Structure formats: C-alpha cells, structure tokens
C-alpha cells in the first residue's frame, strides 16, 4: 500500500505525534509511506528521517492556493490512500478529490471538538461526505459525529492511539524512578499546549488551595507545552503564578523532545483539560508505568480506573483537582508504584502496535477500494460511560462543554 500521511505540520502536538508514529510503523510493516505538511514546524521530523520517510512541505500561501497545491499533489496519483489528520488537512484533501479518482481518503478526527455543532466546525464535517472513511481516536468524538451527522454513520470507526511501548516504558533501573518521601515534593508532569481548554487556570487554583492549606508533601507540576497562536491563556497563567507566589509549584516549560524521560522522572502524569479526545500524554504516561491524574470527561473511563491506576477529577472544580493531588500524595511510594504497574498493563492492552495498526490497515484498505467500513474496525469495542455522559451533556448545551 502506498500511503500519504497529511497533517498541518510536524509540530509538538498530540495529533502530530500520533500520525508520525503511525507512519513509522506502517513503513516498518512494508508499506510505502510519504508525508505532506504545509507549516515548517519540525519537532517530529527526526522521527521520520530516522525511518527514511520523505516529507514534502507546501510553501506558505493563502488557503485557496493551498487547496490548489494539495489538489495538484494528490492528482499526480502516487498514493493508494491518503490519511489526513485534523480539520485543515482533512478539508484540503476532501476538496482535492475529483470524480473518478483512484485513491482512497480517510479523514482522521483527533480533537472531539465541541464546536462541531455550528459554524465552521459544522461545515467542515459536511465535507466528510467526500471521504471514504472517518476514523476517530475516541468514542466521544464518534458519538458526537453520529449525533450531529447521521449520514456519516456507515463511514465511522474509532481506533485508540498507537503508543511506542518501547520508547514509553517504565524505567529499567530503580535509580531512574522518582521516589517520594513525606518531605520530598510530589512531582507531576503535564504535557499539553498552552491553550485555554488545557486548563492551566484550574491547575493553578488547585495548587494555590494546597499552598494555603499547607498540605504535605508539596505538589509540584512541571508543564511542558507548545505555544498556540494566541499567547493570552499562557500570559494569564503566568500572571496568576507570579501574583500568588506559585513559581515553585507550577513551572511552565517549552515542549521537549524528551518527554518520555520527563515521564520516567515523575511521580505521576496529569492532564486536566475541560474537554479532550484521547490524549497522547495520558496514553504515554500509562505506558511509562505512572499513576494518572485525569479529568473525568470524554474517554477517561477507558484510561483511568479511579483508585486503581490513578484518580479522576472534575476539571471545572479546582477543589476536585486539589483532592486528586492530595489522594495521590497520601499514598505510599509502594502504592504509587503498584498504580503505575496497573497503568502499564492497561497500556499494553489498549495501545498495542499489532492491534492498533491492524485496525487502521483494514480501514485504509477498505477506503482504497471504496468499500464500507466494517463494524469490527473499532478498537476498543466498549464505549466508556464517561463518553456517553460527556456527549449527553454536550448535546444538551451544558455551558461547561
């Protein structure tokens, strides 16, 4: 199979990591793979270069010129199938299709975007009529699409993220593992871009509450993330941190290529987003054998069993986030280690390379032959209660969603 992977850039985001990781594994399994992007960010370029995967960059241009550029590239017909991730690339690829084309198109929905019900979000999902299949990385997103766009139901499948279980794995030596005592700060690592929805404000207020209550041990959050187009959420968080003396509790860093090392040195991995699909940071933290602190929204129920491999919290309540911190801090080092082992076991089940790639291959091959998506292409088959609840709240117009 000749596969063209198409995304906006090779920046540090979760969707970019996921598509680059998929491309490398497809190449390893004997498929011919190329990459196409239109922004020059190169965070994951070394990953593709190491696998000898060529990446073409469309020069900067207007949206309509970009549509034409994508159309010219795809009409050359090298590919058997295109796998596009994110709204922009899916839109460009779908607009590039023409009657009688001989290549398949799979649109990858990665964001579970609450805004899909109206405006641009709704228009972009209408363009999925031109795709052969739509694959989501969360049950939440599939349920949202089914509710709002019933004409897509025969094209939809959910496949959870692929995680490199060799790169993201528990430390081989005890010396590399974070060991906490009653006096040492509990270090939690977050890897998320500095967007409003990632909830820096909620985390900061939770840490402020712990500081005022003088909880022991101290909790330190090291946040690694890329900067979005709007710096306003990051700047507001910086001001709050400075005004409340939280510089030692919430430390904001640039995105790092060594996030697996940061996970290994952490006591736990956290993500406190208001709304999320299937976050790479959580999947990778599980693979690293860490307890997980996670917002109880969307597909969280598939990833965290509360009290077993981590703790769930309400992202709209700083008190709930603080409670998750305190519950983890109250555990012994051995208890947290056992939690981490539970995370790793679940990661090996959910994110196994052979399972995930097998499902993707069936979807891509069906698209290549313009055949319907089979019901057994979804992985995992069980829909978590958290996804059903989140979609019900979203559909009812809950202001928090």
Q: Are residues 260 and 195 located together in one domain of the fold? A: yes
Q: Are residues 263 and 364 located together in one domain of the fold? A: no
- Please check the confidence at residue 400 and state whether its pLDDT lies above 50: no
Q: Are residues 45 and 73 located together in one domain of the fold? A: yes
Q: Are residues 110 and 191 located together in one domain of the fold? A: no
pLDDT at site 110: 86
User: In angstroms, rounded to a whole number, what is the distance separating the alpha carbons of residues 7 and 19?
Assistant: 8
Whether residue 35 lies inside any domain: the answer is: yes
- pLDDT band for 61, please (50, 70, 90 cuts): very high
Mean pLDDT, the chain, whole residue set: 93
Q: Are residues 135 and 234 located together in one domain of the fold? A: no
pLDDT at site 303: 98
pLDDT, one tens digit per residue, over 24-57 is 999 999 999 999 999 999 999 999 999 999 999 9
Q: Are residues 185 and 265 located together in one domain of the fold? A: yes
Whether residue 371 lies inside any domain: the answer is: yes
pLDDT at site 101: 82
Whether residue 55 lies inside any domain: the answer is: yes
- Please check the confidence at residue 182 and state whether its pLDDT lies above 60: no
- What is the domain count for the chain? 2
The average pLDDT across 203-216 equals 93
pLDDT at site 180: 47
The average pLDDT across 374-401 equals 88
Domain that holds residue 78: 2-162+352-395
Whether residue 245 lies inside any domain: the answer is: yes
The average pLDDT across 169-174 equals 76
Angle between helices 63-75 and 87-95 (to 10 degrees): 60
Percent of the residues in the chain that have a pLDDT greater than 70, as a whole number:
96
- Please check the confidence at residue 14 and state whether its pLDDT lies above 90: no
Q: Are residues 287 and 143 located together in one domain of the fold? A: no
pLDDT at site 380: 97
- pLDDT band for 83, please (50, 70, 90 cuts): very high
pLDDT at site 184: 83
The average pLDDT across 348-362 equals 96
Whether residue 400 lies inside any domain: the answer is: no
User: In angstroms, rounded to a whole number, what is the distance separating the alpha carbons of residues 6 and 4?
Assistant: 6
Q: Are residues 188 and 304 located together in one domain of the fold? A: yes
Q: Are residues 139 and 194 located together in one domain of the fold? A: no
Whether residue 303 lies inside any domain: the answer is: yes
The average pLDDT across 212-222 equals 90
Whether residue 169 lies inside any domain: the answer is: no
Q: Are residues 302 and 211 located together in one domain of the fold? A: yes
Percent of the residues in the chain that have a pLDDT greater than 90, as a whole number:
87
- Please check the confidence at residue 401 and state whether its pLDDT lies above 50: no
Whether residue 29 lies inside any domain: the answer is: yes
pLDDT at site 354: 95
pLDDT, one tens digit per residue, over 311-342 is 999 999 999 999 999 999 999 999 999 999 99
- Please indicate whether residue 111 or residue 154 has the higher confidence score (pLDDT): 154
Q: Are residues 367 and 344 located together in one domain of the fold? A: no
- pLDDT band for 399, please (50, 70, 90 cuts): very low
* Domain CATH number, residue 280: 3.40.50.2000
- Please check the confidence at residue 175 and state whether its pLDDT lies above 60: no
Last residue of a domain, one of 350, 365, 385: 350
The average pLDDT across 250-273 equals 96
- Please check the confidence at residue 140 and state whether its pLDDT lies above 50: yes
- pLDDT band for 398, please (50, 70, 90 cuts): low
Q: Are residues 44 and 147 located together in one domain of the fold? A: yes
Strand partners, 105: 82
Question: Phi/psi of residue 379, each to 5°?
Answer: -145, 130
User: In angstroms, rounded to a whole number, what is the distance separating the alpha carbons of residues 199 and 179?
Assistant: 27
């Amino acid at each position: 199979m000749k596969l063209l992977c198409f995304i906006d850039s090779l920046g540090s985001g979760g969707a970019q990591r996921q598509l680059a990781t998929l491309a490398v594994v497809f190449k390893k399994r004997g498929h011919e793979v190329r990459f196409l992007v239109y922004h020059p960010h190169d965070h994951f370029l070394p990953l593709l270069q190491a696998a000898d995967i060529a990446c073409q960059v469309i020069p900067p241009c207007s949206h309509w010129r970009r549509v034409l550029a994508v159309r010219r590239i795809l009409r050359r017909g090298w590919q058997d199938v295109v796998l596009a991730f994110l709204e922009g690339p899916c839109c460009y690829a779908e607009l590039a299709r023409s009657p009688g084309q001989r290549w398949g198109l799979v649109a990858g929905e990665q964001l579970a975007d609450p805004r899909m019900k109206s405006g641009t979000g709704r228009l972009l999902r209408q363009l999925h009529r031109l795709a052969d299949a739509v694959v989501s990385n969360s049950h939440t997103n599939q349920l949202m699409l089914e509710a709002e766009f019933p004409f897509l139901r025969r094209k939809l499948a959910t496949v959870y993220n692929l995680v490199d279980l060799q790169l993201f794995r528990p430390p081989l030596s005890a010396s590399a593992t974070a060991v906490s005592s009653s006096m040492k700060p509990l270090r939690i690592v977050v890897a998320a871009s500095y967007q409003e929805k990632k909830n820096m404000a909620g985390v900061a207020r939770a840490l402020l509450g712990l500081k005022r209550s003088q909880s022991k041990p101290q909790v330190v959050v090291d946040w690694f993330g890329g900067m979005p187009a709007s710096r306003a959420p990051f700047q507001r968080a910086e001001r709050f941190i400075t005004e409340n003396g939280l510089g030692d509790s919430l430390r904001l860093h640039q995105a790092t290529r060594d996030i697996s090392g940061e996970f290994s040195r952490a006591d736990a991995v956290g993500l406190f987003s208001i709304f999320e699909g299937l976050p790479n940071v959580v999947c990778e933290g599980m693979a690293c054998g860490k307890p997980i602190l996670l917002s109880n929204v969307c597909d969280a129920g598939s990833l965290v069993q509360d009290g077993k491999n981590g703790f769930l919290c309400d992202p709209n309540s700083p008190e709930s986030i603080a409670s998750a911190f305190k519950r983890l801090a109250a555990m012994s080092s051995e208890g947290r280690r056992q939690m981490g082992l539970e995370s790793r076991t679940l990661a090996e089940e959910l994110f196994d390379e052979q399972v995930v790639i097998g499902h993707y291959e069936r979807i891509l091959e069906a698209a290549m032959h313009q055949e319907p998506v089979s019901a057994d292409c979804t992985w995992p088959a069980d829909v978590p209660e958290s996804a059903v609840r989140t979609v019900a709240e979203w559909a009812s117009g809950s202001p928090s969603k």
